[in-house]
Structure 1
Amino acid sequence: MPVPPPAPGCQTGDCTVSLTREFKKMKPPVFHGGIEPLKAEAWVLGIEKLFKVFLCTDAQRIQLAAFTLEDDARCWWMLVRDENKDVAWACFLEIFTRNTSRNVYGDRKVSEFMELKQGNKSVAKYETQLTELAHFTPHMVDTDYKKARQFEGGLRDPILDRVNVLKLPTYVDLLDRALIAEGNVANRKQNFEWKGRRQNFNKGKTLTKKKLKSGNSNNIPVVRDFPDVFPDELSGQLVNREIKFTIDVIPGTQPISKTFYLMSIIEMKELKTQLQELLEK
């Protein structure tokens, strides 16, 4: 229901206070300033939505809108207010939008979009950043094919090698395959590191055996650090022993079996995002 304006007979100061008090009750959005086109656009949409039910003149709209400006935005309005005293509401919005979306900022965002690469970011985080910057370059992503090629060009080489050969035409399919390729690359890297640690362990074990055969305990780091425990000369070698290890379960227990299922793109993306956040903590 539209909010009625103050009574016609009230004093100017009292009307302003009453109007501001009623407007404040509607919890209008606040803008702190800076070259932030997305935040400025959200503020304009919020204010316009309130004024559809809060009936007032253009001058009162500007006065109430200025009430929600804080910090740098407030300072900006104090500087330009005198030269824009009697402007219409539409003119105020034009001045405000021009101040919060300068070409320099837009050009910088276009450059960021064109130079964006995945780097060390996850596929999900890279895709989110690409989508945010795409707001400043609508002409470069006006078709699904253009957006897919831009996304593909910024992927890391190990992932790009796996999806490039598929020649996927749609952005959704490309994103899905990139997420799968990312998981495969991570698993392969983990297996490679595990094999490397195992090889290093076997080399260390072989080296220890050779040192024991020489009979000189000073060549073995652990023995050398604790001379009061080990004798100066070791007469024997390490003996390989088998250790039996079992897990007792209730008789008749069957192995747990779960059917594999494919996750949707949205679920996969959310899972990747949560895992990345846990890894970064």
Structure 2
Amino acid sequence: MPVNQNPPAPDLATVVANLQRQLLEQQQETNRLREQLAQINQRPQANEVPPQNVRVPPVVPPVPDIRPEVQPEVPIAPVEAHANLPPEKVLCASFALKKDARHWWMTVQMRRDVTTMSWQDFVSEFRTMYFNREILAAQQDEFTSLRQGTMTVMEAINKFEQLARLCPELVPGETEKVRLMMKMFRSDIAKQVSAGDSPPTRVSDCISRAIRAEYWINRDKEERAQFFKAKKEEKAMGKQTQPRQNFEMNQKGQPRNFAQGSKQFGRNKRKENSSGQASCMQSRQSSKDPRSLRAD
């Protein structure tokens, strides 16, 4: 009698039940491991040594739209500070690009292989696009001609620092930076900042003095404005309580009305003019009379 080599076909219900049991066991094991991990994290460990050489992707702020106005918040500096490997730097910097900068990066990807691009090549491409000679020259001119004008001290300092980061060759040291900052301030603020026997030699000292000078200048302006406003109101109240006298005393000691006196003066003036014209006409007629000539 031949032996059947093929095993019997498994029951479908049995297979489904086995799979469900395995899934349930895996779920229970996962929950158990999660509970153990939570207990370990909550348990304070003494003399715990932090893990070493843990690579954490750097958080790079997004780059705003940097054209036509060039912004200093480019991703180059934070990427250089946090990332070490060239591919990692390029990846992080390209991820932070937005708007026009993102479109520029897409054109770079179309014309070259960016997976093997070095960090120096990326910086060169970026500076060629957004920091060419014309833009740098315009920024240098704006930095050297920067004046406070109607800006507050903090607004002017923020603008100064923004341009100084883009033109580092113009501020090689702190002394030159203080000199340019003093040149930027208004004359009334710069006069108080540089007053005294020891002018500021550090940027922090210069900024603190300028803020204090601005405070006292604004306070003096407010007090002067309030003083003149009070004087003006006092003068207006005095005019209302003391009406103006529009008459004077005549020769008889009686009040004289200006309007009546002006009318009388006009009538007298017309009488004088008419009498003078009559006498002039009479003299002319007498000079032309022939009888008067024969009598002579």
The interval holding the TM-score normalised by the smaller chain is 0.5 to 0.7
**Is 1:189 equivalent to 2:221 in the alignment?**
yes
Pairwise CA distance, 1:168: 0.4
Pairwise CA distance, 1:198: 1.3
Quick check: 1:29–1:46 contact (8 Å CA) kept in 2? Answer: no
The 5-angstrom pairing of residues 1-281 of structure 1 reads 1-2=54-55, 30-31=62-63, 34-35=66-67, 36=70, 38-40=72-74, 42=75, 45-46=78-79, 49=82, 52=85, 58=87, 66=94, 69-85=97-113, 88-90=117-119, 91-166=121-196, 168-171=199-202, 172-211=204-243
Structure 2 distance, partners of 1:199, 1:47, is: 63
Bigger shift: residues 62-71 or 112-121: 62-71
**One-letter code aligned to 2:122:** F
Bigger CA radius of gyration: 2
Structure 2 distance, partners of 1:211, 1:122, is: 46
Structure 1 distance, partners of 2:123, 2:66, is: 16
Deviations 1:53-100 (A, max 9, x none): xxxx95x98678655544322322332333322653232342133223
CA RMSD of aligned residues (A): 3.4
Is there any run of 5+ residues in structure 1 with no aligned partner, and where? 4-22, 215-281
3-state SS in 2 of match to 1:116: coil
The count of corresponding residues between Structure 1 and Structure 2 is 187
Pairwise CA distance, 1:207: 0.5
Structure 1 distance, partners of 2:174, 2:60, is: 37
Pairwise CA distance, 1:149: 1.7
Structure 1 length as normaliser, TM-score?
0.54
Structure 2 length as normaliser, TM-score?
0.52
Question: Judging changes above 3 Å, is the alpha-carbon distance between structure 1 residues 194 and 103 closer, same or farther for their aligned structure 2 residues?
Answer: same
Quick check: 1:30–1:43 contact (8 Å CA) kept in 2? Answer: no
Pairwise CA distance, 1:200: 0.6
Deviations 1:91-129 (A, max 9, x none): 234213322322222222212211111112222222222
Structure 2 distance, partners of 1:200, 1:127, is: 38
Quick check: 1:29–1:43 contact (8 Å CA) kept in 2? Answer: no
Question: Judging changes above 3 Å, is the alpha-carbon distance between structure 1 residues 92 and 156 closer, same or farther for their aligned structure 2 residues?
Answer: closer
Structure 2 distance, partners of 1:123, 1:146, is: 19
Structure 2 distance, partners of 1:96, 1:31, is: 12
Structure 2 distance, partners of 1:174, 1:27, is: 33
Bigger shift: residues 31-40 or 149-158: 31-40
Structure 2 distance, partners of 1:145, 1:64, is: 36
Quick check: 1:145–1:170 contact (8 Å CA) kept in 2? Answer: yes
Question: Judging changes above 3 Å, is the alpha-carbon distance between structure 1 residues 199 and 29 closer, same or farther for their aligned structure 2 residues?
Answer: closer
Alignment partner, residue 227 of structure 1: none
Alignment partner, residue 42 of structure 2: none
Alignment identity in percent?
20
Structure 2 distance, partners of 1:111, 1:144, is: 20
Quick check: 2:76–2:123 contact (8 Å CA) kept in 1? Answer: no
**One-letter code aligned to 1:129:** K
**One-letter code aligned to 2:155:** K
Pairwise CA distance, 1:152: 1.4
Is there any run of 5+ residues in structure 2 with no aligned partner, and where? 1-53, 247-296
